[in-house]
Amino acid sequence: MNIRKVYILILVITLILLMSTSALFDQCSLPDGDNNTDQQLIEEGEEEDTGEYDEERLRERDYLVVFLEVGIDESSMHFEHRVAGIYAVSPDESNERLIFTDLDEKYDLGRVYAVSPDGSIISCGFFEGGRGAYSSLRVIEIDTGETITSVKFDYTGTESKELEVDIYGEPVWSNDSKQIAFETVLNPYSDNKIDGGISIVDIETGDVSDVGLNAEENLIGDSTFIAPVLFSSDDSKLFCILYNQYPKTEDGDVLGYFSRSEKLLAVDISSGDAAVILDIDQFEGGEMSFDNFGLFKQQGKLVFQVIGDFEEDGDIWTCSTDGSDLFRLTSDTGLREQQPSILDMPGSIGEIVYVGVGRYGTIASRFNSGDVFTISMDGSGKNQITDYGIGAAEPLYSPCGRYIAFMHYEYDSDIEYTVTSSIEIYSLETSDIKTAVADQGVIGLIGWIPVN
């Protein structure tokens, strides 16, 4: 009987330890990414959470900024021994790590698009650096550095060895981080480029489905392209830019082509029905074009830039997702405001960081760099956080709302080319700006990822 009691006691203690370990694990484990972070913070509260509570917990999370660096390595088999790497670093310059390098890859890492909303995957493009007969859309798992090819266009075995189809523009993530929408183009490197349509790939299964667009009344001809820029909050629709290509002519000769975005469409993914949300003719001021769309989910608002050619003005605008409540957020006639990034946190009224580029023929106009500003969604609280004149670009809020990362380019004395490039981190808590990475090979910001 005593032995039996001992066995029972041991069993009870074991069960208690297992339950305690499981509970401890649940409390200490971190979610994989920023969008999932928001939901998990809401679901994990011991009592009904308020927006302030969620925001406070989210602000306590640490993040790394992700960037692309390109350099030379004699062991690289790529053209001119080029090698590209994706890195991450903390705002205080510590904790830098390599996420991925194409050093041992057959094809070149040519483009890096975006971090998935859950902060676990990076979308990018790979290309054949020599003849250019190969192109693919891949995703890189941040934790492991492993790549998965989602879509590829391989013409290396054909007689022409020329790409007949390629991805055009930048693919966009669904909010659940499970799908990527992209536009294809036929005859991509010729004067006879034709829109190949919009497709969506499921990155878990590799299945690709075409989006059948019912937008014939908006098409001009073969020169019309429609590219996805955002998924709706519930991933049932795609916001797409309709743009046309126009020839640049001189003395009757076509020297090249330029694109002008002219409409924003909301496309139902299931039916293909398209509704016009915005038309560029709504914005006065010359040959204007809109771009850089973001979605402020807390209020269901679109944020975007409207900007003209070279010396013309540019501003940041907002509107509801159906195109109503159109509102010009910035109005400085001396700046071409552009490149907006949204701080989209639970309970937030909405903050936007953007770049103000000097007008009237400055070098900044050509490089799309200037100074970094912040402003609230209602147009209040405008604040200039740099005083470079030129050089700042690509600002991005960290999901925790404590930092803004941006590129900083320094030019030669004649302001003709870049001498150095660095990633600067602005602290919203201290107003200090620190250099996180300084290297000529740093060529762009990618996003932020959580520290796991």
Taking only the tens of pLDDT, the chain with its 452 residues reads: 444 443 334 333 343 333 343 333 333 333 333 444 444 443 344 334 343 445 566 666 799 999 999 999 888 888 888 999 999 999 988 888 999 999 999 999 989 999 999 999 999 999 987 668 999 999 999 999 999 999 999 999 898 888 999 999 899 999 999 999 999 999 888 878 889 999 999 999 999 999 988 877 666 666 889 999 999 999 999 999 998 877 777 777 777 777 788 899 999 999 999 999 999 999 976 678 899 999 999 899 999 999 987 677 899 999 999 999 999 999 998 999 999 999 988 877 899 999 999 886 666 566 789 999 999 999 999 999 999 999 999 999 999 999 999 999 998 888 778 888 999 999 999 999 999 998 778 989 999 999 87
CB 393 within 8 A of CB 340: no
Question: What Rg do the C-alpha atoms of the chain give, in angstroms?
Answer: 24
Q: Which CATH number is correct for 106-282, 1.10.287, 3.40.50, 2.40.128, 1.20.1460?
A: 2.40.128
Domain segments of the chain as ranges: 31-61, 106-282
Burial per residue of 317-349, b for 16 or more beta-carbon CB atoms within 10 angstroms, e otherwise: bbbebebeeeeebbeeeebbbbbbbbbbbbebe
How many CB atoms sit inside 10 A of residue 211's CB? 21
**Adjacent-strand bridge partners of 308:** 288
**Adjacent-strand bridge partners of 185:** 166, 195
Per-residue confidence (pLDDT) for residue 260, from 0 to 100: 82
Per-residue confidence (pLDDT) for residue 70, from 0 to 100: 92
Length of the chain: 452
* Rounded Cα distance, 347 and 145, in Å: 34
pTM: 0.84
Residue type, 213: L
Per-residue confidence (pLDDT) for residue 253, from 0 to 100: 78
Per-residue confidence (pLDDT) for residue 57, from 0 to 100: 63
Pick from 400, 390, 396, 348: nearest CA to 374: 396
Structure tokens at 125: 């493009």
